[in-house]
Amino acid sequence: MMRTVEVVLVVLLLGAAYVATSSYITLPSPSHVSPLSLNQLAYTTLQELDSRYDLSSAAFQTNNLAVWGNLQIALAASLPPNMDYNLTVYNVNTATNGAPLYSSIFSLSNTANLESSDASSYLEASSNVTYISTPQQISASGVPVTLYILNCSDTNGWWITGYTPSSLAQTVYNFLSPYFKNTIMIQNTNQLNQILNGLPLQGEAVNNSVIINTCGEAVPIPANFGSSGLNSTQGWDSADNSYAKYDYTLGKITQLYNWTWVSIVGWPFYYVTNTGFLNSTQNSWGIYGMNIVATQGLSAFLEGLDNQPYLYTGSTTGQPGVVYLSSQAQSLCNYYGLYPSVYQTSTRALSTSITTQYHLAVTTYMFNTTFDGSAYNPGAVYRHYVTTNINGVNVTNYQGGFFALGMTRIPDIRLTALGILCDYQPTRYSSLYTASGSNRLVVLQLGTVGGG
């Protein structure tokens, strides 16, 4: 009986303590527990009003009461019922010192006074405003870089299914020519032979050029590098019956003139092509005017690029399958307005071991490095470096480059253009051509009835 009385007394004491304490506690209002972000609500409302350009249109028709009447109805419907608002349109001009000047030209409100309030703004441009973007011209040490595109009429392409070298040449020209002072289409292998000898076609700078081969896995070869041509010793390997020697010479010339040689798809230097002196030769797949060099072509080019002795030896590539654009490439897609698919299929990825074997540094990863037993780069720009000891100090200079896209067959030429732009990263200078008073600043101020 005594224990029951004790329990009852404890309960009574706790209850009394709770009642006494509660009388001193003031709970916050619901608006303070979960406050409304007025500036976020204002900005969201402005976006909603402009979702079909209604706000943009009204901002430049401040004398049209019908337009603003409809907009005010939409504004009121977009806000909670206990909300005060003031919407003001400002004309935007520029002072003599370049500072912006804002002058109020229209306002609507459902209250005479907004005390506890917040606001957001929205800039509208008139339809007669023209924005243009001027690309920076790519240069090296202050000298404009020349872009050569191989559009040789006396060659065939391979692994460019659905396209011709000419169609790819025109497309890549449209993408890249704004970034180069001189963009030159090489129309035949005789013109190619001319620049291989360091002779310009149109007075352009030959050194530091970018050479884009649009023939896919095949490389155009001038007739004088043929087995019976004037420069046969630089093109024909008689001991191995192979034109790998020509790829070796290309590598040496690329290093000599500090070129960036671009292979747009597949296995680089796998064939040579010339529909003239190779007209009776086919690439083992029935395409005449083309001779197979096989894997030795890539090795020979890299040997020449690194100034190594010529050795008739094969190279290997990986087959990683689906690969993904690097974060750098993806981040610059919007900047340059080029949007290839973020994933591609690669079966000709180059081994990362070539960087140490041939003194190459990767300056741009177009795709993430993948692993197919070993590490491979599905697409990357390589710069060949030469290290010289000068007075006990090692000095490194880049001399010659190579851009390889080891994609499968049908080439996405946007990858070629994007890779070049990612590597050089020219600036796009934006300009605004407009008349005075063609911009409007719309400010929406919100407050709650009764301040909260």
Per-residue pLDDT tens over the stretch 179-234 = 999 999 999 999 999 999 999 999 999 999 999 999 999 999 999 999 999 999 99
- Please check whether residues 181 and 61 belong to one and the same domain: no
**Is 426 domain-assigned?**
yes
Considering its fold, how many domains does the chain have in total?
2
- Please check whether residues 271 and 347 belong to one and the same domain: yes
**Is 161 domain-assigned?**
yes
Confidence of residue 114 (pLDDT cuts 50, 70, 90): confident
| Count of CA atoms in the C-beta half-sphere (13 A) of 126 | 15
Confidence of residue 34 (pLDDT cuts 50, 70, 90): very low
What is the structure's pLDDT at 72? 94
What is the structure's pLDDT at 64? 93
Q: Give the C-alpha separation, 391 to 375, whole Å.
A: 37
What is the structure's pLDDT at 125? 79
Lowest-pLDDT choice from 3-17, 191-205, 289-303, 385-399: 3-17
- To the nearest whole number, what is the mean pLDDT of the chain? 89
**Is 268 domain-assigned?**
yes
Q: In this structure, are residues 107 and 88 in contact, taking their beta carbons and an 8 Å threshold?
A: yes
Task: Give one DSSP letter per residue of 46-67, joined into a string.
Answer: HHHHTTTTHHHHHHT-TT-HHH
- Please check whether residues 115 and 162 belong to one and the same domain: no
Provide CB contacts within 8 A for 350, sequence distance 6+. 298, 317, 318, 376, 377, 380, 404, 406
Angle formed by the axes of helices 296-305 and 244-256, to 10°?
30
What is the structure's pLDDT at 8? 55
- Please check whether residues 209 and 109 belong to one and the same domain: no
Q: In this structure, are residues 192 and 222 in contact, taking their beta carbons and an 8 Å threshold?
A: yes
Residues in the chain: 452
Confidence of residue 1 (pLDDT cuts 50, 70, 90): low
Between 28 and 293, the higher pLDDT residue: 293
What is the structure's pLDDT at 106? 95
Q: Give the C-alpha separation, 133 to 120, whole Å.
A: 29
- Tell me the pLDDT tens digit for each residue of 254-274: 999 999 999 999 999 999 999
Q: Give the C-alpha separation, 147 to 302, whole Å.
A: 22
Confidence of residue 131 (pLDDT cuts 50, 70, 90): low
Average pLDDT over residues 377-400: 90
Q: Give the C-alpha separation, 36 to 47, whole Å.
A: 18
**Is 314 domain-assigned?**
yes
- Please check whether residues 63 and 149 belong to one and the same domain: no
Looking at residue 12, the DSSP 8-state letter turns out to be H
Residue 48 sits in which domain range? 36-124
Q: In this structure, are residues 446 and 110 in contact, taking their beta carbons and an 8 Å threshold?
A: no
Choose from 22-31, 96-105, 289-298 the range with maximum mean pLDDT.
289-298
- Please check whether residues 119 and 149 belong to one and the same domain: no
Q: Phi/psi at 114 (nearest 5 deg)?
A: -115, 110
**Is 245 domain-assigned?**
yes
**Is 444 domain-assigned?**
no
What is the structure's pLDDT at 392? 81
What is the structure's pLDDT at 16? 59
Choosing from 106, 124, 142, the residue where a domain stops is: 124
Confidence of residue 358 (pLDDT cuts 50, 70, 90): very high
Q: Which residue carries 């404009």 as its tokens?
A: 144
Where b means 16+ CB within 10 Å and e means fewer, 215-250 reads bbbbbbbbbbbbeebebbebbbbeeeebbbbbbbbb
- Nearest to residue 263, comparing CAs of 290, 236, 301? 301
- Tell me the pLDDT tens digit for each residue of 308-319: 999 999 988 889
- Please check whether residues 109 and 138 belong to one and the same domain: no
Confidence of residue 14 (pLDDT cuts 50, 70, 90): low
Where b means 16+ CB within 10 Å and e means fewer, 397-418 reads eebbbbbbbbbbbebbbbbbbb
